[in-house]
Chains A and B, each alone.
Chain A
Amino acid sequence: MKRNTFLTIGALAVFALFLTFADATLGRFTIRILNLSAIYIILALSLNLLNGFTGLFSLGHAGFMAVGAYVSALLTMTPAQKEMNFFLQPIVPFLRHVQLPFLVAIIIAGLCAALVAVIIGVPALRLRDDYLAIATLGFAEIIRVLITNAQSLTNGAQGLKGIPKYSTTWVVWGAATIAVLFMLALVRSSYGRTMKAVRDDEIAAEAMGVNVFKVKSTSFVISSFMAGIGGALLGHMISTIDPKMFTLVLTFNILLIVVLGGNGSITGSVIAAVLVTVLMEALRFLDMPMNFMFIKTDGLPGLRMVIFSILLMIVVLYRQRGLMGNKEFSWDMVFGLFGRKNSAQKGGHS
């Protein structure tokens, strides 16, 4: 036990050192991928809370992210930038001069997403399985339509440009660490156990005295809070947002991470988030014009997504547990792995 705590602290320290080093030396593009991974970790954890731990299949994540991203952007942009963005219709007066510190703004962003989740959850969480999936997808779509049409509040289809770039390496990785620690604590708490009980057998859980609706809505609200913060951080990283960003494709990417990492595994989501983000950038060349020796293609946009959809289907069809199943990464597992190898080698020699 002591050894494991020591190793965890050691690994975190090494990682912090790596971040310091990376932040100082690596190019902007690499750092961007690194930071994007952190944001995807937050988003994947928040979807995993619903999908993997509570058994609610929600497809509405992009909607909550949109709420978070817009709220935080509007609260932190300077009045001059707002003036520049809102050239079609002036911005509503109460937002015109507001400018809050970053930390306050993202927390309000998360709270706004959570508030939307409360409003949506009351009707939607009475539904089950596929109905819930469609209803949440529908709500996300409604949020997007509202954002597109509320010209004086969100600048409509033009989106917002020049959002202050507050999502530095330390901010996003700090947020990701808090998210991981929070999830670990949540899942091990009695609340986490009731969530798993609801996931495994709703009727049995209800019979045992679990207030199913309350558990589901709590999980939904917490997950949306995290999604809102993730969306806000994303907005502050790429500094431009528009309603077209927040479609089902975004939710699909997060779902891919959750499924790949293992439904119901926190460490699995973390590993898969980094893996998928890096892979997504590494495979970007597929969408570009290519030139092998004699064969020239003039860029096949969509090929990257084809590969990701195939990846998702292979995982679902042949390895439903994903990378980690519903287990968590632990040092014992690593030592167990080495231990087995060692003993196998010994066995081989003798």
Chain B
Amino acid sequence: MEISTFFQQLANALSLGSLYALIAIGYTMVYGILRLINFAHGDVFMLGAYFAFYLATAIALPWGAAFIVALGLTALFGMGLERIAYRPLRDSPKISIMISAIGASFLIENLGVVIFGGRPKSFPSIPLFDTVIHFGSVSVLSVSLFIPVITAVILVIVLWIVNGTKTGLSMRAVSTDLDAARLMAIDVDKTISFTFGLGSLLAGLGGIMWTMKYPQLNPLMGFMPGLKCFIAAVIGGIGNIQGAVLGGFLLGMIEIMIVAFLPELTGYRDAFAFIFLIVILLAKPAGLLGKNQTVKV
């Protein structure tokens, strides 16, 4: 392989990896606080993209405004989802909550098919994001340069919220022990709601960036990225924000590089993530940066 091809693939891997990382942060936050796989996270991701699409085309907002309003709507949607589908089941067996999450995911996907139509839509072009930039023989879409920057900024902001603010303190408290947190006069419901809002906002941002990079929307677009970003979060150590970013980058790198070096495996691309997940879970069940938890009787 030529060195320029390698750099080209490296650039692709970096932008895909940071996109995975961005979505995985939201996943890991929600899991960290509720110990629940939000199966609907990928569908919230899809909704973020569709909100932005309709705001930019049907209402003809300038794209910047459309993105911000779309993020707000996605965050509200995430909070509503938690309120309706997860809060009533907080004390139920885990299987019930997971079934509810799967039901919510299917509901959103199929409502998406009914409301948005099953035919893929294409996002109007935004010059800032879809110019092709050349570095020697390596050419990348400009959005691929923005995504790692955005992910880095988001990582810093989220780490600041979690470690440096009072809300973050209560988030950590709820995540450690929900009942004890309630006894310390922490408004548990509000904290969980906030976490869901923030997580969904990040999913929405991921969705919008995804459509900038792969400019097509369809109601089922969130399924695979949703699963893969959950895998990224698990690989990094679920509940750990830096871990989610690490997992996202690793996953992006593996997917792109295996296909680049072994093109005959292209058809198996979607299986890599799962194989990687299973290997990691067997070797290091708590993920790369996670802490091992022992079950107390």
Contacts and interface: CB of A to CB of B under 8 A. Distances in A.
A242 to B, nearest CB: 15
B80 to A, nearest CB: 14
A310 interface: yes
Given A138-B278, A203-B295, A313 B118 contact: no
A193 interface: no
Contacts of B104: 309, 313
B223 to A, nearest CB: 8
Given A134-B37, A203-B295, A313 B107 contact: yes
Nearest to A127: B281
Interface string A108-125: 000000000000000110
A130 B37 contact: yes
A34 interface: no
Contacts of A138: 227, 231, 273-274, 277-278
Contact of A320 (B85, B92, B94, B271): B92
Contact of A126 (B36, B92, B107, B282): B282
Contact of A309 (B107, B267, B274, B285): B107
Interface residues of B, number: 43
A350 B263 CA distance: 85
B133 interface: no
Nearest to B268: A145
Given A142-B275, A145-B268, A313 B95 contact: no
Contacts of B118: 301-302
A55 interface: yes
Nearest to A51: B95
A148 interface: yes
B100 interface: yes
Give the interface residue-count category, chain A: 35 or more
Interface stretch (B18-26, B108-116, B167-175, B188-196): B108-116
Contacts of A142: 271, 274-275
Nearest to B113: A302
A141 B106 contact: no
Contacts of A320: 92, 96
Nearest to B31: A130
A166 interface: no
A306 B113 CA distance: 9
Contact of B103 (A148, A203, A309): A309
A309 B106 contact: yes
Contacts, number: 117
The binding surface of chain B is classed by DSSP as helix
A310 B107 contact: yes
Given A135-B281, A302-B113, A316 B106 contact: no
Given A123-B278, A133-B37, A309 B110 contact: yes
User: Which among A51, A145, A312, A316 has the highest number of chain B CB atoms within 10 Å?
Assistant: A316
Given A300-B114, A313-B85, A313-B104, A133 B227 contact: no
B249 to A, nearest CB: 20
A149 B269 CA distance: 11
Interface in A42-58: 51, 55, 57
A51 B107 CA distance: 22
Nearest to B282: A123
B282 A133 contact: no
Given A133-B37, A252-B102, A313-B107, A306 B114 contact: yes
B136 interface: no
A203 B278 CA distance: 24
Contact of A141 (B234, B270, B295): B270
A142 B269 CA distance: 10
Contact of B267 (A127, A131, A135, A145): A145
B278 A135 contact: yes
B274 A139 contact: yes
Interface in B244-297: 267-268, 270-271, 273-275, 277-278, 281-282, 285, 295, 297
Interface of A: 51, 55, 57, 59, 123-124, 126-127, 129-131, 133-135, 137-139, 141-142, 145-146, 148-149, 203, 248-249, 252, 255, 259, 263, 300-303, 305-306, 308-310, 312-313, 316-317, 320
> Which 6 pairs, one residue from A and one from B, show the smallest C-beta to C-beta distance?
A138-B274, A302-B113, A309-B107, A305-B110, A312-B103, A309-B106
12 contacts: A55-B95, A57-B95, A126-B282, A130-B94, A133-B37, A134-B234, A135-B278, A301-B118, A303-B114, A313-B103, A313-B104, A313-B107
Given A141-B270, A145-B271, 7 more contacts: A123-B281, A139-B278, A141-B271, A259-B99, A263-B95, A309-B104, A313-B85
